[in-house]
Homo-oligomer: A and B are copies of this chain.
């Protein structure tokens, strides 16, 4: 089946206490978003759509020129919520196939994970990356108190989330509700969700600590690959 990707890059630098949007902060000397795109490009045989806020498009072109980074991707305008950004991306796809929707600020995504996601989506109809919780978890109640819940009954959800194109397009053919990811949109339309085991490395870069973590993981991976003679 034909493969598509929608990479959603709509963040600001607010939680990072940075003046530039977090997807453009440098990680291993290149913008975070470049890492993300490179993983998809490396997969090969895929049409990549990058959804960017309109206000960031000039900066994007500037960065591409600065780093001589010219991937073969389609740039698409973002919306005021993530939901509308994804919807804009989906509107550009008019062929059957599978689409992996991915957060621009998950730069540690690997080609192996992407392959698994497309493979599971082909087999099960969808693939949503999920990892178990390492910490205990509590549910906050409406009166301000909280209750222990069994963490083994929960999964932390990541991206990519990969779907059959006509199904995700039909799921997105609704008005915005308070969705935090694409699996929720699919579920709202009654589609079943298949969870694929994700990787603890595939973090979303939201805080300064996340950036430190990502930098460290990249360095460790470099050491491993240089030790193995690559």
Contact = CB atoms under 8 A, between A and B. Distances in A.
Contact of A155 (B134, B146, B180, B215): B146
Contact of A157 (B137, B178, B180, B215): B137
Contacts of A200: 207, 209
A137 B139 CA distance: 12
Interface stretch (A2-10, A28-36, A109-117, A181-189): A181-189
A51 interface: no
Interface string A185-204: 00100001101000011001
Contacts of A226: none
B154 A192 contact: no
A1 interface: no
Given A193-B145, A217-B212, A140 B154 contact: yes
How would you classify the secondary structure of chain A's contact residues: helix, strand, loop or mixed?
Answer: mixed
- Contact-size category for A: 35 or more
Contact of A192 (B133, B145, B148, B151): B145
Contact of A136 (B149, B153, B184): B184
A118 to B, nearest CB: 20
A189 to B, nearest CB: 12
Contacts of A207: 134, 200
Contact of A183 (B136, B201, B204, B212): B136
B157 A140 contact: no
A26 to B, nearest CB: 15
Interface string A145-164: 11111110111111000000
A138 B151 contact: no
Given A187-B147, A192-B145, A156 B133 contact: yes
Interface string A121-139: 0000000101001111111
> Nearest 6 pairs between A and B by C-beta?
A216-B216, A136-B157, A148-B184, A135-B156, A213-B213, A136-B181
7 contacts: A133-B156, A136-B156, A137-B157, A145-B192, A148-B181, A209-B213, A213-B216
